[in-house]
């Protein structure tokens, strides 16, 4: 003879303590990613400072292993023949990066925003993000060479 199947065991609803522990664990696990996302959003949408720098764009390139970002250097020389000061910058807009590429070697003015505290380099390796590029002076004039700089000794 066969025995009749046993009725399924009734499960009792979870206890209030178990529900509270589950809720606390869910909040504990969800808080760090939410804080990280809020910090990243705030750092990218509020600028610490804004300004403009003028000089000669030396390089601009798309860099990165996973997060590809546009990075560049602007050479700023106060006096002819003096060592230029380098201003490193990042570009988030593809169109602006293309325009900077077209102006390499010419004097330009870069408008930028400084965003301090951006948590990763996926948005840019520097804290200076270029928002606009404008050629300065005659667009056909290339960067001066040391030999053509007034007051500089001629090369033999």
Joined together, the tokens standing for residue 119 give 């948590």
Domain limits, the chain: 47-146
Dihedral sign for Cα atoms in the order 122, 109, 107, 141: positive
What does the pLDDT look like over 54-74, one tens digit per residue?
999 999 999 988 889 999 999
Q: In CATH, which superfamily holds the domain spanning 47-146?
A: Nucleic acid-binding proteins (2.40.50.140)
128-152 confidence digits (pLDDT tens): 999 999 998 765 555 555 444 454 4
pTM recorded for the entire structure: 0.68
For strands 69-76 and 49-63, give the pairing. Answer: antiparallel
């Amino acid at each position: 003879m066969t025995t009749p199947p046993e009725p399924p065991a009734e499960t009792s609803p979870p206890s209030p303590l178990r529900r509270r522990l589950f809720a606390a664990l869910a909040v504990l696990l969800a808080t760090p990613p939410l804080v990280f996302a809020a910090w990243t959003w705030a750092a990218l949408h509020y600028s610490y400072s804004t300004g403009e720098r003028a000089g000669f764009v030396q390089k601009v390139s798309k860099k990165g292993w996973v997060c590809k970002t546009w990075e560049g250097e602007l050479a700023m020389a106060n006096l002819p023949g003096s060592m230029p000061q380098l201003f490193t910058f990042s570009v988030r807009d593809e169109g602006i990066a293309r325009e900077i590429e077209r102006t390499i070697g010419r004097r330009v003015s870069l408008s930028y925003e400084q965003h301090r505290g951006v948590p990763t380099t996926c948005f840019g390796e520097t804290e200076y993000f270029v928002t606009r590029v404008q050629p300065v002076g005659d667009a056909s004039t290339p960067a001066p060479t040391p030999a053509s700089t007034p007051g500089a000794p001629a090369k033999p």
